[in-house]
Chains A and B, each alone.
Chain A
């Protein structure tokens, strides 16, 4: 068997299209119901996807009038999904800027226990660091380096995917 695709279900409350929540088929009344997301994860699992994933940020984004901007906190959400599924991976986003390392590490290791080894951490700021022009302050870079030292192997199970900005220390140092 040759290389195989990795498929991850990226869940936004109402779907990724801005106006998805307005579609007649969208379950707008269930967007705060954990069972809706448990069912999505179960369907992803039935289709043998690698993981489900929640983007996140600790702020209410703009235009709440027009779109489903709320974000339930992903650790608690994923923990509830963990007990409704058996195999599918559970990836949450957590900000290295707004969360203390001890608390973040503990939340992830707890989710890993509760899910029998299915937790993943999307380290926030990947997008910013992966851009052509990096404009992140020295303080923030120092903080990331402290939490995830340059050279840390972040994808042991899957060497095929190495986010360059995190895997390549040169891209993460000010001296690039």
Chain B
């Protein structure tokens, strides 16, 4: 089965400590301490690079998530983790999540420009607005800002970051020793941004980075999330359980991107997939059953109850979800994931216990259990079927699930002509087939910078 398709898949390895399955840390092979072990992450990154994947990615939130009693909790801050990984790899892209609600644009634009310099143009930023009151309480507010306000702030935050990344033109550094001129002051400018949420003078104190702008990723699938993606995102991570849902999302987002005045080819849509792989179908099913047996339903129910905004006692394990759950419009965060979970349970008439098993693999992402050929078929079906430009690979167990994917599924995709056999570029934008953005201030002569003071 060789594809004549000239399109190539984009594959991102979504990394976590011991894997995406809730109970992965309980397997004999897993190291429950791996979340702070740099050698573990270096190995994962090198494995993904061996498979020629586009990028690796860390989710993040500025809050201690979940029940510390249930699974390994606590994560290293992803930009510093990726910088450490940069030195152990050469080509693979490095995508970190950072919140626009609980950061400041100058600090964050600067940190991502720095990651881009350290990695030679491999940095990506997954822009999130961070749902939930727990994170809010780490930043001096009692509850999260409203969904629409968080997205409005996110849009302005990205605008400010992009202006700061453009505040140095590419040829601003002259470094002319003989003439004694280091920087060309006509090519380094204040941005003087004044908006509803931010007032930022600039310029950035980091020269324009190898990619110009680090890759922008967006991962919210609500209406506000899709509109934000259509305007700014280079890649989108999304969660769908069925081909039909994924197709609808894909065509909707491509249309919104065109409506925002962009070429829809310049936004790459990557649904998540949790591949549970076995040499035979029975082996794969046995791995899935083993993982699900290790879930502690009483803890998982607390998490589900939180997502559904009900009390855990309202979710008896062997009954279906209650009928009177709130609608998506009535809730304030993680809207699209909420709807996905409720629809999955209703569509397949799952009991709470069964639903917990289904969510244990990928928290709402599609779990696919089968042989390497079946996994490759599943990927190709969505790729050829107008549902995906690639996939966010969420190995249920790490490192073994990623090793199996790289060693057994990637070669099949390569044989079918669906995936690169080697890197052709050196930057993350290059891997995703995207241009280096032009500088919005190119050709302008910057007014003279006047410094207000000197502090360091």
Q: Across the two chains, which residue of chain B brings its CB closest to A55?
A: B456
Q: Could you say which residues of chain A place their CB within 8 Å of the CB of B80?
A: 75-76, 78-79, 107, 110-111, 114
Q: Is the CB of A60 within 8 A of B203?
A: yes
Q: Could you say which residues of chain B place their CB within 8 Å of the CB of A79?
A: 80-81, 83-84
Cβ of B206 within 8 Å of any chain A Cβ, yes or no, is yes
Cβ of B102 within 8 Å of any chain A Cβ, yes or no, is yes
Q: Could you say which residues of chain B place their CB within 8 Å of the CB of A26?
A: 177
Q: Across the two chains, which residue of chain A brings its CB closest to B37?
A: A113
Per the CB 8 Å criterion, the residue count for chain B at the interface is: 48
Q: A64-B188, A77-B114, A82-B84 are in contact. Are A22 and B205 (CB under 8 A)?
A: no
Q: Is the CB of A73 within 8 A of B206?
A: yes
Cβ of B104 within 8 Å of any chain A Cβ, yes or no, is yes
Candidates B77, B181, B455; contact of A110 at CB < 8 Å: B77
The 4 A-B residue pairs with the shortest CB-CB distance in the complex, in nearest-first order: A62-B451, A73-B114, A64-B183, A57-B456
Chief secondary structure at chain A's binding surface = loop
Q: A64-B188, A102-B138 are in contact. Are A113 and B117 (CB under 8 A)?
A: no
Q: Give the complex CA separation of A110 and B35 in angstroms.
A: 11
Candidates B175, B451, B454; contact of A21 at CB < 8 Å: B175
Interface residues, chain B, with chain A CB atoms under 8 Å away = 36, 38, 62, 76-77, 79-81, 83-84, 86-88, 102-104, 106-107, 110-111, 113-115, 117-118, 138-139, 175, 177, 180-185, 188, 202-207, 449-451, 454-456
Q: Could you say which residues of chain B place their CB within 8 Å of the CB of A56?
A: 456
Q: Is the CB of B86 within 8 A of A73?
A: no
Give the interface size bracket for A toward B.
35 or more
Q: Give the complex CA separation of A46 and B456 in angstroms.
A: 28
Q: Is the CB of A114 within 8 A of B81?
A: yes
Q: Across the two chains, which residue of chain B brings its CB closest to A64?
A: B183
Q: Could you say which residues of chain B place their CB within 8 Å of the CB of A72?
A: 114, 117-118, 206
Candidates A65, A71, A80, A84; contact of B185 at CB < 8 Å: A65
Cβ of A99 within 8 Å of any chain B Cβ, yes or no, is yes
Known: A29-B175, A75-B80, A110-B81. 5 other contacts (CB 8 A): A60-B449, A72-B117, A73-B110, A80-B86, A102-B139
Q: Across the two chains, which residue of chain B brings its CB closest to A24?
A: B177
List residues 96-117 of chain A with CB under 8 A from any CB of chain B.
Answer: 98-100, 102-103, 106-107, 110-111, 113-114
Q: Is the CB of B183 within 8 A of A34?
A: no
Q: A34-B118, A76-B79 are in contact. Are A70 and B175 (CB under 8 A)?
A: no
Q: Is the CB of B182 within 8 A of A64?
A: yes
Q: Is the CB of A70 within 8 A of B206?
A: yes
